[in-house]
Amino acid sequence: MRIGIVNDVMLATAALRRVVSATPGCTVAWTAANGAEAVQKAAADPVDMIMMDLIMPVMDGVEATRRIMKESPCAILVVTSTVTGHLDMVYDAMSHGALDAIQTPVLGLSGAIDGAQALRDKIVIVGKLLRKPGRSAVANGTAQSALPEEPPLIAIGSSTGGPHAVSEILQAFPAALPASVVIVQHVDEHFAAGLAEWLTRRCGRAVRPALEGDRLIAGQIVIAAGPDHLVIGAGGRLAYTPEPRDSSYKPSVDAFFQSAARRRGLRGCGVLLTGMGRDGADGLLAMRKAGFHTIAQDRQTSVVWGMPKAAAEIGAAVDVLPLAAIGARAVAAIKEPSP
């Protein structure tokens, strides 16, 4: 992969160069000292991936991400020393198309780089997403029966550009929502709680991380919080599992959607939003075959039309809709009689 580095701190840029150089198959294509310079270089010399800082002079990383994803789209990973101190900026950047966020590795006095392996792992994940994706290897498992008191489920899967898309859908839901909502967004486990808080502020609806053992409760909105895949496990309780271990992302949308499809008698709606790759497409198809209504976001309103496109191509989506129409359609679907 050819990678661009955007950071105004020379020591940080040096550390990032060393990490990229030590990652097989990766080279540094160019560096930029601010967002405006990054926008220009991304247009003049397109790369596979950009490591984007947030706090910079001239133009910050949020605006640079927005401009690049509009004019010269590529994979963008927020790499900044201010992740925990500027969570709103992290989620704003992700809403504009950044894939994920991670702390900037630190070059120590001994010459060692603290945090280098974590960043290399992220680079490898992005590389897998950029390669032509194959079919999901999520196992079908054994079907389980839903309990009579379980409410309908609205399952939402998203990735690149997902935070904004999810917030728009949640804002379209009525105050008295007769369904349980579970969100699986591709985000590092360390930022899931912050994303829940960000969504709560944006939507005026309580969103919290999903906990091991949670039940599906009408009106409750939870988000997968890792470090493993979220699924509906034994007894209809939410659970975390390391399987499938070969998934490019944890949490996997496919893993949750497949587990919902296996829950015999559970009804509701599956929604697959903007994102790179094809995670969630096979799971959405399984949900449709199990009797759920299924929706994929359309090309025009997706930051990256990868995951929903894959779902549309295999006939997994009953509806392919613009973002503004998805929330209302999902609510209408859970009120329809079961097929």
Three-state SS at 155: strand
Verify whether residue 282 is a known catalytic residue. Answer: no
* Active-site entry in 188, 228, 254, 279: 279
Say if residues 292 and 270 touch (Cβ distance below 8 Å). Answer: yes
Phi, then psi, of 42 in degrees rounded to 5: -65, -35
The string of DSSP letters for 236-276 reads G-EEEE--STT-SSSS-HHHHHHHHHHEET--EEEEE-SBS
Q: State how far the alpha carbon of 75 is from the alpha carbons of 4, 17, 67, 292, 303, in Å.
A: 10, 17, 13, 32, 11
- Going by the DSSP 8-state scheme, the letter that residue 215 receives in this structure is P
Q: CA distances (Å), 108 to each of 15, 115, 122, in order? A: 9, 11, 21
Cα torsion at 321, 322, 326, 327 (round to 10°)?
A: -170
3-state secondary structure of 315: coil
- Cβ neighbours of residue 195 closer than 8 Å, sequence gap 6 or more: 91, 163, 185, 187, 223
* 338: annotated active-site residue: no
Length of the chain: 339
Please give the angle made by the CA atoms of 156, 160 and 163, to the nearest 5 degrees: 55
116-130 and 10-21 are packed helices; what angle lies between their axes, rounded to 10 degrees? 60
Judge contact between 221 and 181, C-beta under 8 A: yes
Known catalytic membership, residue 279: yes
Which one, of 230, 216, 224, lies nearest residue 180 by Cα? 216
Name which of 292, 279, 289, 283 is nearest 329 in CA terms: 292
Q: Which of 72, 81, 159, 247 does the annotation list as catalytic?
A: 159
What residues pair up with 270 in beta bridges, in sequence order? 155, 294
Among 274, 2, 229, residue whose Cα is nearest residue 138: 229
Give the residue numbers annotated as catalytic, written as ranges: 159, 186, 279
